[in-house]
Amino acid sequence: MWERTDSWVVPNNTGREHDSLQFHDSYAFDLLSTRSRERDIAENLNMPLLMPVFPRSNTEWEKSFHSLNSFALRATGSEKRIDLQLIAMIKDAQAYLESETHVQFEDKQVVFRST
């Protein structure tokens, strides 16, 4: 029997800028593997928590991709259409979870953006 669910998507927010993507990856891993507000909420909602990691540069601080601000959504070049990158990340994670568990995702996601 497959359980149907939505997913809760919370972009990683370290609270500070750093030019190393590894820094942001490590922070997200810590949030997902220990008790955190995000994890507690996901458990209370009985939803898988997906935390895509976007850079939050110290040298290009105005590019707050993690917050999906208007600058990030209007970016050009290799940073263009970060919203589509986010959707691809969500679909990839859902496909993986569906193949490994008895969960089937609904067509909607709950995306949380803190400022």
DSSP string, 31-86: HHHS--HHHHHHHHHT--EE-----B-STTTT-BGGGT-HHHHT--GGGTTHHHHH
CA distances from 85 to 15, 33, 57 (A): 22, 24, 18
Q: Which two tokens stand for residue 26?
A: 């490590």
- Enclosing domain of residue 61: 3-111
Q: For residue range 17-52, what is the model confidence (pLDDT) as tens digits?
A: 777 888 888 888 888 888 788 888 888 888 888 888
Domains: count for the chain: 1
Q: Which two tokens stand for residue 72?
A: 């990030």
Q: For residue range 42-97, what is the model confidence (pLDDT) as tens digits?
A: 888 888 888 888 777 777 766 677 777 777 777 777 777 877 888 888 889 889 98
